[in-house]
Amino acid sequence: MGYRWPADSSPPHPGNGRARAPSVSDAARLAHPKWLDPDIPRQLNTQTDGGVAIIGGAFVEYHLRRLLKARMRALPAETEDSLFEGLGPLASQTGRIEIAFAFNLIGAQVRNDLRQINEIRNRFAHVLSGEDWTFEHPEIGRHVDALSLAGTAAAVVGSQEPDNRGKFIMTVYYLTGQIAGEVSNHQQPSFFPKFLAD
């Protein structure tokens, strides 16, 4: 089933020198309280690994769509649906990632991690079936290892490096928190310019 972060974990006391695994509350601290659905941490803490991958992937998709919409003119619902649904040019997460990168809304490192999350989600949803697949499966582990912001996210909360499931969750929270900040403030959060350059 994979590692479960204890929901009631608290951060280490400053200066006590103890390292610990990050908790869901740690990850939630990376998120803006106005946008974080309070049910998301509970779901990510109780789901199977496949559930975490699919819910986390959907969470990222939702916020990337919000980022793209924030940079568009106001559109009627019908026009917006024609872009994001069905056979629209922004219907796929892959397309959204590439458009966001092409229009300089995200940098290369963010693009990479969005791609990896999307690949992990797709592996669990469409490919890995019939066995007890987890984040420790080599095929999933390869994509988790390619996540570049997991270490940054763990450092923000002063936590030791989590396992593969933890890396995935931390990266989901970090990316969605930063994207939500970008949408809310209509300016790039401090880490975006750093990652814009290739």
* pTM of the predicted structure, to 2 decimals: 0.73
Distance between CA atoms of residues 198 and 178, nearest Å: 19
Q: Are 174 and 197 in contact (CB under 8 A)?
A: no
Q: Are 112 and 98 in contact (CB under 8 A)?
A: no
For residue 184, which amino acid is it? S
Does the structure show a pLDDT above 90 at 113?
yes
- How far is C-alpha 72 from the geometric centre of its chain's CA atoms? 22
Confidence grade of residue 15 (pLDDT, cut at 50, 70, 90): very low
Range 24-196 has CATH code 3.30.530.80? no
- For the record, the structure tokens of 164 come out as 């593969």
- What pLDDT score does 192 carry? 46
Q: Which long-range contacts (CB under 8 A, 24 or more apart) does 92-98 make?
A: 93/57, 93/60, 93/61, 93/64, 93/118, 94/118, 96/61, 96/64, 96/65, 96/68, 97/64
Distance between CA atoms of residues 2 and 48, nearest Å: 7
119-157 per-position pLDDT tens digit? 999 998 887 565 668 999 999 999 999 999 888 877 776
